[in-house]
Structures are given as structure tokens and as C-alpha cells.
Structure 1
Amino acid sequence: MSSRLRRVAVRAYERLLERELDGAPTHVAVIQDGNRRYAESQGKERTQGHHAGAETTESMLRWCRDLGVEELTLYTFSTENFERPEHEREELFDLIEEKLRAFADREEVHENRVRIRAIGELDRLPERVRDAVDYADERTRGYDDLHLNVALAYGGRAELLGVARDVARDVAAGDLDPADIDAAELESRLYDKPARDVDLIIRPGGEERTSNFLPWHANGNEAAAFFCTPYWPEFRRVDFLRAIRTYESRQESWRRTRAERALALVRSVTDRELTEAKRVLGQFRGSLPDGELDEELETAD
């Protein structure tokens, strides 16, 4: 197939996918994987792969805005990335600094009120990168139409271990009662956290794992996951639409499972429990085959 015909086919597929979608997840998180492998496959320097990936990141922000996504979190530099060779780390830091400042100055960022923040162990970053983080934060503070979180020096396991140590220390010092330890207390001790739980995690590049990314906000929320083979610089809008379709299919499956459980509850409860059971089941009207829910509710009456 010629490149022109391929582009026409992809655009047609995009339109088909958009017609099938009912909406978009509120919070999407992306593991930007495959920059180096993309560069190697093209016979280029690794740094060129990172620059190509940065262009996809700009497109991703635009796609999120167009489709109604309210929050985007990008896994940009993990704690494990500190183990890379020094010259590669420095080139990455240069690129991150450049893009943070460029994003913070972009007219469309201000027109669309995009809030830019960084999350992670920011004190481990070079001063020039921390300065760029502060610059982007200050330039976009007060915006809330679309939140862009850039995960830098981030590691989910390290984050949770740090929270556990903080809690243990405060309990030992008598500053925290073990009875007061709940989900809200733990969440308050996380890094500057995303505004919302994660609905969908996307990982390009062929790997099928979430690599310790946002375990509290993604895994804890049972976020949908979409894995695909294109490297991050090759990730296209049609891939994003396919990811959203995966999210919607999972949500539909989840609602049906909950509805079936509620239906089983109605069939088994005593009269004293019936009112509550019917209330729960009524929340899932439309998730079961036509007439099945109404039939059960009428029988329960």
C-alpha cells in the first residue's frame, strides 16, 4: 500500500473510532517508552529519539485537549534513569529543561489554560531542571482546564516506601495514632499528587507492564491499561483512540459485572434487605439485557 493510501486508510479508521467513542477518560497516564529503540531502528543517535518523542508529547497534549481529557501524566524520567551513563542523563536533562520552558511559553498552553506541574523526587534533579520546573509552575499557576503532570525522578515503589517510613517515624514519635492511619492519611503524604485518580495507562514500545508508575493512583483505582507496539515517537492519534476504546470497553465490562452482582443480591436477600438491594441494582439500569432488570425489580416488589 502506498504511503498516501495508508494515510487515507488511517484517517478513515480514526473517524470510525471517534464515532464509536462515547467520551474520554478523565485522567490518562503515559509511559513514554521506546525513544532509544526508535533511534536505533532509524540509525540515529539516541538523543534524536528523545527529541522525536518530545514531538509526540506535544501532539499528545493537543489530542487530550481536543478529546476532553482533563489530566495527562507523562512518565518522563524515572528514578532508574539515574543509572544511565552520565552523558545520556545530561542530554535528557537538557531536553527536559528546554521543553519545560518552551511549553510554559507556548501561546496555546495559555489559551487553553494548561496547568504544568512536576511530580517526583525533584530535589535529585540538577538545579537547571528544578529552575525550569519552577518556571513552568509559576507561568501556569491558576490554570485548571487541563492538568499536565511531568513525572521526573519518579518511582512508585520508592514513593510508597517513603510514605511507610514517614508514618512509622511519626507513630514512633507519638505524633500519629495508628488508629488514625487510613487511605486519606497515606495519600496526603505522597509526592505532589495528581489531581485525579488515573483512568487509563498507556504504554507504547511493546512492553506489557506498568513499570512502577503511579501505583496508588492507577493500580489502586484499577485503571485500564493499553499496550501497543509502536515506539513512542511513532505513536499516533489513531493509537490514542484505540486506547480510549479499550478504556470504554473495560468500563462497560466493569458496569455489567457490578450489575450482575447486584442482580444476584436481589435474588437472594431477605425482605429487610430488599430496599437497599433494589437501590443498588437501580444504579445499573441499562447495563443488563433489555427487560431483565425491570423484571427482577417487579418480582422483588
Structure 2
Amino acid sequence: MLSWVRQQALQGYERLLRGEISGTPDHVAVIQDGNRRYATRQGDEATDGYHAGAETTEQLLNWCDELEIQELTLYAFSTENFDRPEDQQEALFDLIEDKLYEFADAERVHEGKVRIRAIGETQRLPERVTDAIRYAEDRTRGYDALHLNIALAYGGRAELLGAARDVSRDVAAGDLDPADIDADTVESYLYEGPVRDVDLILRTGGDERTSNFLPWHANGNEAAVFFCAPYWPEFRKVDFLRAIRTYENREDSWRTARARRALALVRAMGGAELDEAKRVLRRFRDHLPSSEREALGDPAEGELDPDPAAD
């Protein structure tokens, strides 16, 4: 009876959260932490925790499909994981290999047009894993409804250092003019991976750090971050909806800040800066408090009044 009541309460909370969400991020990146600690608490082997976490990953794909999220990046194996005991590494490699083949052949992947790609220093992985990567990538190459990026042998610092070395090499060889280097140039030297910048980075397991994960695509985009206590095998749909609500709240706060900065510029500047500030203000005015919106008047036609009291 008690479990039924809890289930009903959970479903009610899920409906409440779903009603509070008006939109979703395009790209979610997930640090799936806590598999080993979950297994220890259950009295199981670490490998059992990895398998339990893989079941949550499958559920996450369903939730992303339901919420029409366009890109998902999973931190499956970091460069630091090479320091783990060999038996744990081998168990992870076995699981990753099996899941890549399973996903590549799954009907829902093909029906949902999911494209699978691996990002990272995949040449460091065992041949059986790289074979599975090639199989999954080849089987889903033509799809684009949901991009599923699996970070394997991945480290954000190593990715940026590698890009810096490659840029330096091409400059020294005369193939690249330093004056032409911009953000797009640097991005072209990164691992082939995410299609979009990260909107939301999510970490389970209680640690509040992003652990060298997608620093260019996440931090450069000022991605929202959601940390939660459940270990990855315990992560539920309500936790995912709470993370998305955090993203929405952050986006609202960002738009309000943009509107207020634009309002300050409208009141302080003229010329080209004034035109740009008015454009931004028209775009984000609805995020200002009602008293500030009313003072501005209707921006749909004509000029915004930067300071009605000035007349």
C-alpha cells in the first residue's frame, strides 16, 4: 500500500513538473556518476553498478525522445578512467561494446532516427570497442532527429591542448595565418562531436563539479548546470524534469539581465549603440518586471521611450 501511495505521489509530482516546463534545451550533456557507489551500497560488485546505470541510460533516451531534445552527450569513459583497476576497465569496455551494438541494432534507434557518434581519444580504446564504435556510427550515419554523442576516452583539457598544438603546428608550417584564427577556427580543430553548444550539463551522484567535460561547448556557451544527489542508477524522470526546469529558470534570468542591460544602454547612449540596445530591448522586454515594461510603453511601433520621466 505504501509503495502504491509513493508511486502515485511521484506520478503527481512528475505531472506538476511537466506542466511547469514550457520548453526544453536543445543539447543536454550528462555526467553519469555514482554507479560504483550505488553498487557498494547494494552490496554488489562495481560491474553490477555499471549495468544498473546502463538501464537508466536507456530510459534517458526515451525521455529525450518524449521531450524532443535534439542532442544528448553522455560521459561514458573519461581519460581519468584509465587509472582504474584493469578488471573494472575491462568490465566497462565489455559493457560499452555490448551497448553500442545493441543501440545500433535497436528498432527504436532507427525509428527515432538517432545518430550515434563517439567523441574522444578513441584510438586509446581496445580494438573491440573501436570496432563497435564504427559499427554504430555506420549504422546510424544518415539520421539526424536525435544526435547521441558518447564521450569515450574523453578529457576536455586534453581536447583543448590537442587543438592548441594542431593550430600551432599549422601556423608554424605556414598553413594558417594567426590573424585568421577565431572561435570557428579553434572549433574546427576539436574532436568531431557535438553539433550544438551545450545548453544544460547534468551530474548525478552528489558531486558539484563538471570534471573536465566539454569545456568549449558547455562553459563557452554559459550552459546551465544541474547537480543532484541520486546515483546514476537511481536517476528518475522527475530528476530529469527538475534539471530542465533549472535550465528554463536560468534562461529566464539571462533574458531579464539582457533586457536590463539594454535598458541601461538605451538611457545612456546614442547612435549605433542606441539602435542595437533598442533591438535587444524589444526582444527581451517581456522579461522585465511589469512596472518597467509599462514605463517603456509599446515597442511594437515607433521609438522606445528610454526615460518617460525625462519629458
Instruction: Say yes or no: TM over 0.5.
Output: yes
Amino acid at match of 1:45: E
**1:30-69 equivalent positions in 2, closer than 5 A:** 30-69=30-69
Report the more deviating stretch, 244-253 or 160-169. 160-169
**1:269-288 equivalent positions in 2, closer than 5 A:** 269-270=269-270, 273-288=273-288
Deviation at 1:69, TM superposition (A): 0.5
Partner of 2:233: 233
Aligned counterparts of 1:20 and 1:62: Cα–Cα separation in 2: 20
Q: How many residues align?
A: 301
Deviation at 1:299, TM superposition (A): 4.9
Please tell me whether the aligned partners of residues 118 and 193 of structure 2 are also in contact (alpha carbons under 8 angstroms): no
Structure 1 residues 254 and 174: CA distance shift in structure 2, 3 A: same
Aligned counterparts of 1:104 and 1:193: Cα–Cα separation in 2: 18
Structure 1 residues 26 and 272: CA distance shift in structure 2, 3 A: closer
**1:254-269 equivalent positions in 2, closer than 5 A:** 254-269=254-269
Secondary structure (helix, strand or coil) at the match of 2:226 reads strand
Please tell me whether the aligned partners of residues 266 and 306 of structure 2 are also in contact (alpha carbons under 8 angstroms): no
Aligned counterparts of 2:272 and 2:151: Cα–Cα separation in 1: 50
Please tell me whether the aligned partners of residues 49 and 233 of structure 2 are also in contact (alpha carbons under 8 angstroms): yes
Partner of 1:298: 305
Aligned counterparts of 2:70 and 2:21: Cα–Cα separation in 1: 16
Aligned counterparts of 2:271 and 2:90: Cα–Cα separation in 1: 68
Structure 1 residues 273 and 229: CA distance shift in structure 2, 3 A: closer
Please tell me whether the aligned partners of residues 263 and 293 of structure 1 are also in contact (alpha carbons under 8 angstroms): no
Amino acid at match of 1:298: D
Partner of 1:220: 220
Unmatched tracts of structure 2, length 5 or more: 297-303
Cα-to-partner distance string for 1:222-251 (whole Å, 9 max, x where unaligned): 000000000000000000000000000000
Secondary structure (helix, strand or coil) at the match of 1:30 reads strand
Partner of 1:167: 167
Report the more deviating stretch, 168-177 or 216-225. 168-177
Whether 1:203 and 2:227 are equivalent positions in the alignment is no
**1:79-228 equivalent positions in 2, closer than 5 A:** 79-228=79-228
Secondary structure (helix, strand or coil) at the match of 2:82 reads helix
Unmatched tracts of structure 1, length 5 or more: none
Partner of 2:301: none
Secondary structure (helix, strand or coil) at the match of 1:211 reads coil
Please tell me whether the aligned partners of residues 267 and 306 of structure 2 are also in contact (alpha carbons under 8 angstroms): no
| Sequence identity (%) | 70
Secondary structure (helix, strand or coil) at the match of 1:197 reads coil
**TM-score w.r.t. length of structure 1:** 0.97
Structure 1 residues 271 and 294: CA distance shift in structure 2, 3 A: farther
Aligned counterparts of 2:186 and 2:257: Cα–Cα separation in 1: 30
Deviation at 1:167, TM superposition (A): 1.1
Aligned counterparts of 1:21 and 1:276: Cα–Cα separation in 2: 31
Aligned counterparts of 2:272 and 2:117: Cα–Cα separation in 1: 51
Structure 1 residues 93 and 271: CA distance shift in structure 2, 3 A: closer
Please tell me whether the aligned partners of residues 119 and 192 of structure 1 are also in contact (alpha carbons under 8 angstroms): yes
Aligned counterparts of 2:144 and 2:178: Cα–Cα separation in 1: 36
Aligned counterparts of 1:125 and 1:29: Cα–Cα separation in 2: 22
**TM-score w.r.t. length of structure 2:** 0.94
Aligned counterparts of 1:2 and 1:32: Cα–Cα separation in 2: 30
What is the RMSD of the two structures over their aligned residues, measured on CA atoms? 1.4
